[in-house]
Structure 1
Amino acid sequence: MLKTSFIVALATISTASFAGQWQVKIGGSLLQPSAKHNTLAEGLVTDAKADNGASFTPSIEYFFEDPRFSAELLLATPFKHEVKASINGQPSAQIAEFKHLPPTLTFKYHFINSTPITPYFGAGVTAAIPFQERARGDLEGAKLRANMTYGLAGQVGVMVNPIKDNKNWGVFADVRYAKVEPDLKIDGVKIGTLNIDPWVYTAGISYRF
């Protein structure tokens, strides 16, 4: 269901590309996983956690006829993460690494007012596309795979237009939360689900056409 909704929403934005107002945002993001105590392989692997990652994150935003409403598609260069865990009760050590892309689509409401500061919030869907998964440490040599996954996403932020009489340029900062929980396989055998559920902190500049 989420996969279908994500594709339909992307198609809706593409269809709207011939009219309306567009905004391009250029920023950087820190992705901080919130899930810290994953248990995998029937208890053999405990306290598995992905570390923080940072990336360049541009986005494209379309404003509907009512400018209080918009749709934003977050793009990114790949995030890279290491995964640490305890195996058989041994001290935590790196067991894996992977990269992923997190395209995220949110539909937003903007609190337009007479000041240069416009708060906003949004909700939508995200996808986590993992690649270059590699087992490390005690799992070195095993074939690690993580599946592509979909989840819900929320967003809260603020846009500031600091240049008087010029509403095209702006600066922004926002926070997103997403449900990201890929299944993991070692040598083709599922060992569990790695709950990442990240907070994503983003700041940057924008230009509105």
Structure 2
Amino acid sequence: MLKQVALIALMGLSVSAMAGEWQVKVGASALAPTQDTQIANGTLTVEADNEFAFTPSVEYFFNDNISAELLLATPISHDVTVNGANAVKIKHLPPTITAKYNFKNSTGFTPYIGVGATAFIPWDEETSGALANTKAKVKEDYGYAAQVGFNFQPADAKNWGVFVDVRYADLNPEVETVVENFKLDIDPVIYTLGYSYKF
């Protein structure tokens, strides 16, 4: 799957000789997991907390309507709790690529929708609380992604704008602990506000 994502990204880059435009987006995001996980025969509830992240991205416009966006977020940390008590801190990278349709019109507002693929690449794991002094391992995971949002370009702005979007990522990495091995259902919704610059 990772090879397929890389291939899609390279294909996007290979058309840079065609007429088109690049856009850089710098945003701040709130990540809200939508699921939790039941383990130990349903007696323990495992869930990841909400987090904030710096989420830059690069987008290439093939024409006014079709574009491809690659999300390049910095490592994101999640405190994972068991029945409300901290147990594991997970740091990961969430590279995401989406193919987008931009509803270009005569106003400064350009709504868009996108679908694509995402990944959960573990960066570090640290145990605490009841799991302190034990090891926890989180595996890579891959899933689909979707987004909806809009970019607003003021009338007097030549290249810059602001954007708001919402993404959904299907992510359920496998976690190995001394207690039990399980899939951590995260499936986050990501709310982003940021600045865009097209050149």
TM-score higher than 0.5 = yes
Q: Which residue of 1 aligns with 2:56?
A: 58
Equivalent of residue 197 in structure 1, options 180, 187, 195 = 187
Report the AA paired with residue 71 of structure 1: A
Structure 2 alignment gaps of length 5 or more? none
Kept in 1: contact 2:139–2:175 (CA 8 A): yes
- Taking the aligned partners of 1:84 and 1:4, their CA distance within structure 2 comes to 33
User: Mean alpha-carbon deviation: is it higher for 136-145 or for 43-52?
Assistant: 43-52
CA distance in 1, matches of 2:142, 2:158: 35
Q: CA RMSD in A?
A: 1.6
In the other structure, the counterpart of 1:206 is 196
How far the C-alpha of 1:138 sits from its partner, in A, is 0.7
- 1:13 lines up with 2:12 in the alignment: yes
Name the residue aligned to 1:89: none
The alpha-carbon distance between structure 1 residues 101 and 45, as it changes in their structure 2 partners (threshold 3 A), is farther
Aligned partner letter, 1:178: A
Residue ranges of structure 1 left out of the alignment (5+ in a row): 87-91
Please point out which of 90, 95, 106 is paired with 1:98.
90
How do 1:40-189 residues align onto structure 2 when only pairs under 5 Å count?
A: 40=39, 42-43=40-41, 46-64=44-62, 66-86=63-83, 92-164=84-156, 166-186=157-177
Among all aligned residue pairs of Structure 1 and Structure 2, give the percentage whose two residues are the same amino acid.
45
- State the distance in 2 between where 1:158 and 1:22 align: 17
SS state at 1:57 partner: strand
The Cα shift of 1:4 comes to 3.8
SS across alignment from 2:11: helix
For 1:142, what is the secondary structure of its paired residue?
coil
- Give the whole-Å Cα distance in 2 for the aligned partners of 1:26 and 1:45: 42
Aligned mates of 1:121, 1:84 — CA distance in 2: 33
TM-score (norm 1): 0.89
Single out whichever of 46-55 and 13-22 deviates more from structure 2.
13-22
Q: Give 1:53 shift.
A: 1.1
Letter of the structure 2 residue corresponding to residue 171 of structure 1: V
Greater than 6 Å deviation, 4+ residue runs: none
1:26 aligns with 2:26: yes
Rounded Cα–Cα distance in structure 1 between residues aligned with 2:15 and 2:52? 31
- Give distance in 1, aligned partners of 2:87 and 2:43: 10
